[in-house]
Amino acid sequence: MVFRKPPDGGWGWVIVLVSFFTQFLCYGSPLAVGVLYLEWLDTFGEGKGKTAWVGSLANGIGLLASPVCSICVSSFGARPVAIFSGFMVAGGLMMSSFAPNIYFLYVSYGIVVGLGCGLLYTATVTITCQYFDKRRGLALGLISTGSSVGLFIYAALQRELIELYGLDGCLLIVGALSLNILACGSLMRPLESSGSPPLEKPCVEKVPDQYFVYREKEKTVEENISILEKGYIDEKCVNSVPDCKQDSILNKNVLSAINVNEKDTYKKKVVEHTNFCKQLAKRKWQLYLTYWKETMVLFKNKVFSALFVAILLFDIGGFPPSLLMEDVARSANINEDDYYMPLISIIGIMTTVGKLILGILADFKWVNTLYLYVTTLLMTGVALFAIPFAKSYLTLAMLSGILGFLTGNWSIFPYVTTKTVGIEKLTHAYGILMFFAGLGNSLGPPIVGWFYDWTQEYDTAFYFSGFCVLLGGFLLLLAALPCWNACTNQSSKLPPNAYSYKAASSA
């Protein structure tokens, strides 16, 4: 498919609109799963750690499967993947309404819905990047707020639906709303030049010339053909020894009478296909080796190594509040009549504000985005330490707003990654970091839930969460300090293609 130059407008704004609603519809329920979490605790009577796996899988499985999602979008296009994923999200939510136990929810809500959200996220980001170049940052910022707005609205919506129709009815209605993703996906028209003719399938004879990596001598083909001819005659002789000479003469006469060139052409094709498969296997192996070599080079960059540890620890400690804050309020014996707004809704709306403000700050030249990101990590750790001391709705609401705002640092994370490894390694590095982010999302809530099951209170759990986030922030700060860079640069030089934060930012 031949793509034309991104228009930076026109139908691109329709793409932004439908991508916003796609993320709103698919991420609304998984991000606001804390409301459902309370109902699942009461319905199935399982431990908090085991029940928390449902929401953590729904939010982490898409990040863990990000390489597979990228391959699907690259192979089939954004529109087919979006439509197929819409069926996955809607079907997973509706199936969850019939869940007989918590293990069924692991598959229906955790894996099916989570994987569908991951596919939709990749599809919306890919199609938006195709339509925008100069305004790409603005377009991506607008569609990323869809998930935060979804969290804000779905937290209150799911609570009302549970009161009116019960847990099963809520999941059925939310699943039906997710079917609107199909309409949004159908509007994701691929950006391709209207006058470009469709690509023809390469002829069999042209395949080796186009894809051979290692050229072999022509005499190798001729030698292989002679081997095939010899094997053909030997096989006939073994099957019928007395008539061997007669058969060979007859075969020669028949082949010469039909077309000798067709036989040679067929044998050449067999040899060429064999060589093509062999060379393709060698090429794939070389690509895998190159990929792992580049990965090892990335981890030799101390700032990148600290960054992947920081994002892992941040998601282990920073993600649980969005899932467990409602249960924290219930454990603190806060009366539901004192609720002016669900705590998860506060987290959602403040995440939107945080994404916008932190994204604007990152555009200023005098702001060091790495230090800004480290600051958000350290402040998040302090806020997590303060949760055990919050015993009223007002204090929990304030902490929810602070944590939501700081969680908006996702908007500057691509900036930090680019400054750390350089633009040419952004895709490779970002995929690795997103994998660890998904791992942290999957492990964080169950770990906090297990702490509660062991201690019967959330204080120790959030002390642990705060410690994880603070540890990640301090490690990243230590790796980025100029004095530390000077000491390490004197002792050893960076390997080729590895970038320190200072060098990459100046470039």
- Domain ranges within the chain, ordered by starting residue: 1-191, 286-486
435 pLDDT more than 60: yes
* Highest-scoring range by mean pLDDT, 116-130, 222-236, 249-263, 424-438: 116-130
Q: What is the mean pLDDT of residues 338-366?
A: 81
Q: What is the mean pLDDT of residues 108-114?
A: 93
- Contact call for residues 80 and 154 (beta carbons, < 8 A): no
CA 493 – CA 507 distance, rounded (Å): 18
- The predicted model scores a pTM of 0.65
Q: What is the mean pLDDT of residues 420-436?
A: 73
Higher pLDDT: 333 or 468? It is 468
- φ/ψ bin of 367: left (φ > 0), alpha (ψ from -120 to 50), beta (otherwise): beta
Q: Which CATH number fits domain 1-191: 1.20.1250.20, 3.30.980.10, 3.40.50.850, 3.40.50.11540?
A: 1.20.1250.20
CA 135 – CA 501 distance, rounded (Å): 26
Closest residue by Cα to residue 102 from 160, 159, 37, 148? 37
- Contact call for residues 378 and 466 (beta carbons, < 8 A): no
| Residues found in the chain | 507
Which of 24-36 are b and which e, b meaning 16 or more Cβ less than 10 Å from the residue's Cβ? Answer: bbbbbbbbbbbbb
What φ, ψ does residue 142 adopt, rounded to 5°? Answer: -70, -45
**Among 169-178, 265-274, 369-378, the least confident range:** 265-274
- φ/ψ bin of 457: left (φ > 0), alpha (ψ from -120 to 50), beta (otherwise): beta
| Helices of type H across 32-112 | 33-44, 48-64, 66-76, 78-96, 102-105
- Contact call for residues 407 and 318 (beta carbons, < 8 A): yes
Higher pLDDT: 453 or 277? It is 453
Half-sphere exposure (Cβ direction) of 306: Cα atoms closer than 13 Å = 24
| Overall fold of domain 286-486 | Growth Hormone; Chain: A; (1.20.1250)
Higher pLDDT: 206 or 14? It is 14
- Contact call for residues 374 and 397 (beta carbons, < 8 A): no
Q: What is the mean pLDDT of residues 269-290?
A: 67
- The Cα-based distances of 500 to 56, 306, 308, 420, 422 in angstroms read 33, 12, 15, 6, 9
**Structure letter (DSSP) for residue 341:** S
Q: What is the mean pLDDT of residues 462-468?
A: 91
474 pLDDT more than 60: yes
Collapsed DSSP state (helix, strand, coil) of residue 391: coil
199 pLDDT more than 50: no
| Common-topology check for domains 1-191 and 286-486 | yes
- Contact call for residues 206 and 268 (beta carbons, < 8 A): no
- The Cα-based distances of 279 to 27, 287, 460, 507 in angstroms read 43, 12, 57, 38
463 pLDDT more than 70: yes
Which of 248-268 are b and which e, b meaning 16 or more Cβ less than 10 Å from the residue's Cβ? Answer: eeeeeeeeeeeeeeebeeebb
